[in-house]
Structure 1
Amino acid sequence: MLISGSGLFIVITALAFDALIGDPDWLWRRLGHPVALIGTLIDTLDVRFNKDGQSPQQRRSAGIASTAVLVVIAGAVGVLLQAIAQQLPMGNIITALIASIFIAQRSLYQHVDWVRSAFADGGLAEARDAVALIVGRDPEQLDEAGVCRAAIESCAENFSDGVVAPVFWLALLGLPGLIAYKAINTADSMIGHRSERYASFGWAAARLDDLVNLVPARLSALLLAVAAPIAGGSVGTSFNVVRRDASKHRSPNAGWPESAVAGALGLALAGPRRYGEQVVDDPFLNAEATRPAVPDDIGRALDLYTAACVIEAAGYAALALVV
């Protein structure tokens, strides 16, 4: 399904379903979330093909093959689900409902908002517990400004990975594209890091994730920059920070939405941070902003995020009128 009128209807309806329903915990506690099933498949491939004693080249080859198998299975499931849904009454509505399961629009807002609420309810200690659910860095090493920056950075990066990118691939390739994207992104989060076990085996997943996020990351920065006035920022400033700083991030994609948010909020984001025993010595994005982040800035980031989601949906709706 390349972009079409019916495909765009599915996109808009999926966004609406996700905004209204999100991820009902009561359902997925009983059934298991489909993304968790993807994670189980990745674990199975890891245990089966990523063996101790293999050379780095053997592990890389096994990782390439495993990633290919994962993408083929995910795409095939998407083809099957879409074919079944389209044979049923209200097939586009059913397809949109399935698609909404793989979009993190509402759940991302909720998780970031929990960090803001935790500051009010229990102070820094509770906020550290809340932010630990959405970032990989050691929360005990974070002061108030560090917790706030971590929540804001997670909101920015996951706007791209959890909202813009899955919707982009849904619009372009339907459910097969959406589910394949989620499989790639999940694989990157599980095996795409540079530990001894995964530096070679996860290489293909990490590089493929970089590739499929190239366009969505830049689209995310555009949406966030355009929404900057909602958070009291400037469209021009946000664009200027993106243009200057996006490439400074160690990720070829994460720097785009993060620098857009940094410029929109007037905060320095990224910079040095600790993940377990590993210290990532990255430069700051929007380094000239010296005001420390505070809990109210998380609320401003959520306002920015909400506005960008609305602009995204409006953009797809406008595109539907001309396709």
Structure 2
Amino acid sequence: MSWTALFHPPDTLAALALALAIEAAAGYPDALYRAVGHPVTWIGRAITALEAGLNRGGPARRRAGGVLALLVLIVGTGAVAAALTRLAAGAGAAGGVLLVALLCASLPAQRSLHDHVARVARDLRAAGLPGGRRAVAMIVGRDPETLDEAGICRAAIESLAENFSDGIVAPAFWIGLGGLPGGALYKAINTADSMIGHRTPRHEAFGWAAARLDDLVNLPASRLSAGLIVAAAALHPGASAREALRAVLRDAGRHRSPNAGWPEAAMAGALGLRLAGPRIYGGTRVADAWMGDGRAEAGPADVERALALYRTACIWLFALVVAGAGGLLLVRA
């Protein structure tokens, strides 16, 4: 089997479907993480090394250094992913797809996101505000001590919605387009944004390129994620697909992020909640528009309702990939 065959849409989508199923069932095993780490940790070490060497001087030099760092990261990540794809092709047609699927399964985070958000509701019920604050601090950057129960639950639901887009749908989208290299390149860009794409004195200039490119590569997935949440709401009693769509059309463009507002607005409308709004990061109040026009008083039961929608949205994503792979196989036959 030629390694370039693994970039043909039917084989790429078949590998993606397998990867999503494997990751949903098993996640990323702790033993494997302890033994070799995770692609995000490897990428993170590369970013740290590049920043140490290039993030210095005045704003113009820092911005140029950030562009260079991003280019080096992209070229290096793409080369490694392409080499792994070439090696996988040596296992034959079915074996190559399976090996690529196993490698791609490390890129989405369906199971870990679910577990982290579910822990917020569980710990809030079991240990009150201290437990909820500890759990939500693992998934959001805002100051947990400023959050009451409703704030904790809204933060968990917002993180679930946003990370459904950039942690699951986006890597799946880019794997579908470009195989393992496409997914790995997306993960490199997204990790760079999370590490250096901040408006702080240290990263304002150096992280400019990473932040702008991350906005661009997340644009299609954020819109698709909103659609998947709307579709999930149509299958859940007590959720409203109509209100989800109405919230997206009315509110998504008002969010301070060009992408996060789409899945957050869909989730807010589906559940009859208000999400986003003003928040506190590092002691600084950040103004933002509300997504949805429902109640702001969210509780652990709302987190669990959001998780149910999330699970159904993940199933919709898997179904779309399987349908796409099957349709392309029929066309190729």
Q: TM-score, normalised by structure 1?
A: 0.97
* Contact kept in structure 2, 1:231 and 1:304, CA below 8 Å: no
1:246-288 Cα deviation digits (max 9, x unpaired):
01111100000000000001100000001112221111111x3
Counterpart residue identity of residue 235, structure 1 = A
Aligned to 2:256: 250
Which of 137, 146, 151 is the equivalent residue of 1:146?
Answer: 151
- Structure 2, unmatched stretches of 5+, are 1-5, 329-333
Matched, 1:96 2:101: yes
Pair 263,322 (structure 1): closer, same or farther in 2 beyond 3 Å: same
Residue 297 of structure 2: SS of its match in structure 1?
A: coil
Which of 7, 29, 38 is the equivalent residue of 1:33?
Answer: 38
Cα distance in 2 for residues equivalent to 1:297 and 1:3: 42
Shift of 1:43: 0.4
* Contact kept in structure 2, 1:3 and 1:171, CA below 8 Å: no
- Structure 1, unmatched stretches of 5+, are none
Matched, 1:207 2:251: no
Aligned to 2:331: none
Cα distance in 2 for residues equivalent to 1:158 and 1:97: 21
Aligned to 1:269: 275
Which of 176, 183, 196 is the equivalent residue of 1:178?
Answer: 183
Shift of 1:2: 5.5
Matched, 1:196 2:201: yes
Matched, 1:73 2:76: yes
Residue 103 of structure 1: SS of its match in structure 2?
A: coil
Cα distance in 2 for residues equivalent to 1:71 and 1:61: 15
1:217-267 Cα deviation digits (max 9, x unpaired):
100000001111426222111111000100111110000000000000110
Counterpart residue identity of residue 301, structure 1 = A
Q: What is the aligned-residue identity percentage?
A: 52
Cα distance in 2 for residues equivalent to 1:33 and 1:4: 26
Aligned to 2:161: 156
Counterpart residue identity of residue 17, structure 1 = I
Residue 9 of structure 1: SS of its match in structure 2?
A: helix
1:186-208 Cα deviation digits (max 9, x unpaired):
00000001000100100000000
1:89-118 Cα deviation digits (max 9, x unpaired):
511111101100111011110110111110
Aligned to 2:112: 107
Which of 266, 270, 286 is the equivalent residue of 1:280?
Answer: 286
Cα distance in 2 for residues equivalent to 1:294 and 1:274: 20
Residue 199 of structure 1: SS of its match in structure 2?
A: coil
Cα distance in 2 for residues equivalent to 1:29 and 1:322: 40
Q: Aligned pair count?
A: 320
Cα distance in 1 for residues equivalent to 2:205 and 2:153: 33
Counterpart residue identity of residue 99, structure 1 = C
Matched, 1:311 2:313: no
Residue 81 of structure 1: SS of its match in structure 2?
A: helix
* Contact kept in structure 1, 2:225 and 2:262, CA below 8 Å: yes
Counterpart residue identity of residue 208, structure 2 = W
* Contact kept in structure 2, 1:246 and 1:285, CA below 8 Å: yes
Cα distance in 2 for residues equivalent to 1:32 and 1:194: 29
1:39-96 Cα deviation digits (max 9, x unpaired):
0000001110001xx2211111111111111111111111011111111251111110
Matched, 1:296 2:287: no
* Contact kept in structure 1, 2:150 and 2:296, CA below 8 Å: no
Cα distance in 1 for residues equivalent to 2:61 and 2:110: 39
Pair 58,2 (structure 1): closer, same or farther in 2 beyond 3 Å: same
